[in-house]
């Protein structure tokens, strides 16, 4: 017999982090803890207020229901949680954790054995020019060869100049540049902006226009001089048929998967399979989870053997994150088995 409890936890940012949706100072997250005869299993439901499809007033009530009905089994629970992707992700982790010898080793591999690292991008948060420039310098000196810059909150000319300043020093062979617009462009000005960005030999741009404009996005993906990656576009698309229609209509060059927002490992696998059918590649990104969720995402990502830089460098953003073996070194995420977990709520 399995019993389940849930717990809310507020993560505090070390410094306010700017996105096109505003400035983040805290991040709410939830944990499911399973208990089977004293053996514990942990899962993080990475709810992202204002972004998650399951950001609903009855979220806690739903979580309570799933905990009370935990003995229905994972498959039934995942089906019932179809409109609550962060809960699906938390349940998947918790059941894997319960079955594993080590509660935090969900996918044993050369990654968890400290033998292989995952290549990741360095994330540049929005802010004024100096703040962004300093972050870029820090990431380059920390050994990152792929930089992802969030754009769309300050003046586009300033952002272009910042990107130009990187390109003056580093060619596209030395530093890969990705930009994330978080839907900040309009369908009328997006193509012109993409053309200007492409002159700087960018790798790709995430979500140039707001989600839900499938025809406009399809037109952009067809004409773009710069590969487009869908991100927010995948949020709130639940059925297999709807996912097929989304990718078939838009025909993006890439999709970006945040397991907390797209239904965990199962949801991510489904998107990857559909995208591959339509010649779209992918990478995985965390969505400001604590180290518990980040750990699960990283271990899953390693199983995919995807050589592209992944978006998993968010573990050091919080003052009250949980100590874990995860560490970022020379632009990659590793699992240092000399470090121990300290998960206390």
Which residues participate in catalysis according to the annotation? 150, 258
**Angle at 292 (CA atoms; ends 291, 293), nearest 5 degrees:** 95
Q: Write out the chain in H/E/C secondary structure.
A: CEEEEEEEEEEEEEEEEEECCEEEEEEEEEEEEEEECCEEEEEEECCCCCCCCCCCCCHHHHHHHHHHCHHHCHHHHHHHCCCCHHHHHHHHHHHHHHHCCCCCCCCCCCCCCCCCCEEECEEECECCHHHHHHHHHHHHHCCCCEEEEECCCCCHHHHHHHHHHHHHHCCCCCCEEEEECCCEECCCCHHHHHHHHHCCCCCEEECCECCCCHHHHHHHHHHCCCCEEECHHHCCCCCHHHHHHHHHHHCCCEEEECHHHHCHHHHHHHHHHHHHHCCCEEEEECCCCCHHHHHHHHHHHHHCCCCCCEECCCCCCECCCCECCEEEECCEEEECCCCCCECCC
- Cβ pair 324, 295 in contact under 8 A: yes
Token pair 């989600």 is found at 211
85-99 helix and 59-68 helix, angle to the nearest 10 degrees: 30
């Amino acid at each position: 017999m399995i019993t389940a409890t849930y717990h809310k936890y507020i993560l505090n940012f070390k410094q306010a982090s700017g996105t096109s949706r505003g400035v983040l100072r805290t991040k709410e997250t939830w944990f499911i803890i399973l208990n089977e005869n004293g053996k514990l299993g942990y899962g993080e439901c990475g709810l992202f207020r204002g972004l998650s499809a399951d950001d609903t007033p009855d979220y806690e009530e739903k979580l309570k229901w799933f905990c009370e009905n935990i003995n229905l089994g994972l498959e039934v629970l995942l089906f019932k949680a179809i409109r609550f992707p962060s809960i699906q992700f938390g349940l998947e982790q918790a059941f894997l954790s319960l079955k594993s010898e080590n509660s935090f080793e969900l996918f044993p591999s050369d990654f968890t054995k400290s033998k292989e690292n995952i290549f990741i991008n360095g994330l540049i948060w929005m802010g004024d020019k100096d703040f962004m420039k300093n972050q870029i310098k820090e990431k380059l000196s920390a050994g990152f060869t792929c930089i992802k810059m969030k754009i769309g909150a300050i003046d586009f000319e300033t952002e272009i100049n910042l990107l130009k300043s990187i390109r003056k020093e580093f060619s596209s062979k030395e530093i890969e540049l990705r930009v994330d617009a978080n839907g900040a462009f309009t369908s009328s000005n997006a193509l012109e902006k993409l053309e200007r960005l492409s002159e700087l030999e960018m790798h790709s741009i995430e979500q140039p226009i707001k989600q839900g404009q499938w025809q406009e996005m399809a037109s952009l993906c067809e004409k773009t001089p710069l590969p487009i990656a869908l991100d927010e576009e995948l949020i709130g698309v639940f059925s297999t048929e709807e996912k097929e229609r989304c990718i078939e209509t838009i025909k993006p060059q890439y999709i970006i998967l945040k397991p907390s927002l797209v239904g965990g490992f199962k949801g991510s696998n489904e998107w990857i399979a559909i995208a591959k059918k339509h010649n779209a590649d992918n990478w995985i990104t965390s969505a400001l989870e604590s180290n518990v969720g980040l750990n699960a995402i990283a271990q899953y990502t390693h199983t995919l053997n995807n050589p592209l830089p992944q978006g998993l460098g968010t573990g050091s953003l919080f003052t009250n994150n949980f100590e874990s073996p995860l560490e970022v070194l020379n632009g990659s995420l590793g699992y240092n088995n000399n470090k121990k977990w300290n998960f206390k709520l």
